[in-house]
Amino acid sequence: MKPVQFAYERPGSLDETLRLLAEHAGRARLLAGGQSLGPMLNLRLAAPDMIIDIGRLQELQRVELAEGVLIIGAGVCHADIEDGRVPDVTHGLLGRVASGIGYRAVRNRGTVGGSLAHADPAADWPPVMMALGAELDLRSTRQCRRIAAAALVRGLLTTTLEADEIIETVCIPLAGGGMRWGHYKISAKPGDFADSLAVVVIDRDKGEARAVLAGRSQTPVFLPETAHAVAGIHSWSSDRMPVLSAAMDADLGRLGFSGVLSQHDRAIHFASVARAAREAVTR
């Protein structure tokens, strides 16, 4: 198939982009790397009146360390993180995640902001940013606001972004020296979207522990009981598995997933959580 007919604009500044978004609110789509939007256009899953190409906006390429936070422009591509052009303030987690997204051609064009705004439940960056406690700066002609990364995704391919808003930057707190993380993705083959993806971040210096589970079957969710259980483990052994399983079951029950997930889905989710937990403990 081919896309429906649409107008095309390539603004030269972020202000011009925001003006176009305001004028065509709800009828325009932003094009950054195009790795998600391109196929959706061809399949006519998206049929906007206008495409606004922001792929060359230098304002969205910002990378800066400031006041204990790493600021990453929404237009920064995955390959920039993979290749170390972005400081990794997470002791290696950002680089691990970036290198496992799609294939090199995808990583050369796909952007951090695009991945977050697209809100595919099996995408890599949304659960990772949640686990890191990241925040997002959003802009429109009406306002600038900051939200937690956890507040962005509302459902399948659905976010809390207003029709005239854009993600400008992603703000990631610098990890403490005692921060440990685990990340595990289960997919049909390398580069595929995740059937299950678990991220565990334990920062004992800050007294923080987060575990996030994502995958094709649901949007990213926090697992607080699981995070608490992992934070209490200081050395890994097989007898930790029942404790971890009970904590995860408690989280899934609280979320209403216990009677919804198939035995297979529950098994692969537990496998990804257990492997991420083990990596966080033993790192």
Q: How far is CA 184 from the centre of its chain?
A: 14
C-beta separation of 217 from 265 below 8 A: yes
Cβ–Cβ < 8 Å for 107, 96: no
Q: Do 156 and 244 sit in the same domain of this protein?
A: no
Indicate the residue among 18, 34, 53 that finishes a domain.
Answer: 53
User: Is 197 inside any structural domain?
Assistant: yes
Same domain membership, residue 86 and residue 12? no
Q: What is the pLDDT of residues 52-97, one digit of tens each?
A: 999 999 999 999 999 899 999 999 999 999 999 999 999 999 999 9
Residues 50, 47: Cα–Cα separation, whole Å:
9
DSSP state of 279: H
Q: What is the mean pLDDT of the chain?
A: 93
- Domain identity same for 128 and 153: yes
The C-alpha atoms of residue 117 and residue 239 are separated, in whole angstroms, by: 40
CATH number at residue 79: 3.30.465.10
Residues 28, 120 within the same domain: no
Same domain, yes or no: 22 and 96: no
Q: Which of 115, 148, 173 is the last residue of a domain?
A: 173
User: In terms of domains, do 169 and 72 share one?
Assistant: yes
Domain coverage including residue 48? 7-53
* CATH number of the CATH domain containing 46: 3.30.43.10
Cα torsion for 125, 83, 274, 247, to the nearest 10°? -40
Asked whether residue 217 carries a pLDDT value surpassing 80, the answer given is no
Residue 236 lies in a domain: yes
The whole-number pLDDT of residue 126 equals: 96
Residues 164 and 218 in one domain: no
Q: What is the CATH number of the domain that holds 255?
A: 3.30.390.50
Q: Quote the distance between the C-alpha of residue 122 and its chain's center.
A: 9
Q: Are residues 66 and 117 in the same domain?
A: yes
Residue 277 lies in a domain: yes
Long-range contacts of 154-157 (CB under 8 A, 24+ apart): 154/119, 154/219, 155/119, 155/219, 156/119, 156/121, 156/219, 157/118, 157/119, 157/120
Tokens representing 215 are: 């995958």
pLDDT band at 23 (very low <50, low <70, confident <90, very high): very high
172: left (phi over 0), alpha (psi -120 to 50) or beta: beta
CA dihedral angle for residue 195, residue 160, residue 32, residue 185, rounded to 10 degrees: -20
Q: Does the residue 2 lie in any domain?
A: no
pTM of the model: 0.94
Q: Which residue, of 133, 155, 173, is where some domain finishes?
A: 173
**CB-based contacts of 157: which residues, under 8 Å, 6+ apart?**
118, 119, 120
The phi-psi region of residue 80 (left if phi > 0; otherwise alpha if psi is between -120 and 50; otherwise beta) is alpha
Q: Are residues 159 and 216 in the same domain?
A: no
* CB of 194 closer than 8 Å to CB of 183: no
Same domain, 118 and 12: no
Q: Residue 261: pLDDT above 90?
A: no
Same domain, 166 and 184: no
pLDDT cut 70: percent of the chain above it: 99
pLDDT at 114: 96
In a domain, 1, yes or no: no
Question: Does one domain contain both 196 and 165?
Answer: no
Q: What is the DSSP letter of 58?
A: G
Spell out the residues 6+ positions from residue 240 whose beta carbon is closer than 8 angstroms to its own: 233
Beta carbons of 248 and 227 less than 8 angstroms apart: no
Count: domains in the chain: 3
Residue 192 lies in a domain: yes
Q: Is the pLDDT of residue 260 over 90?
A: no
Confirm whether 23 is domain-assigned: yes
**pLDDT by residue (tens digit) across 107-160?**
999 999 999 999 998 899 999 999 999 999 999 999 999 999 999 999 888 999
Biggest CA–CA distance in the chain, Å, is 60
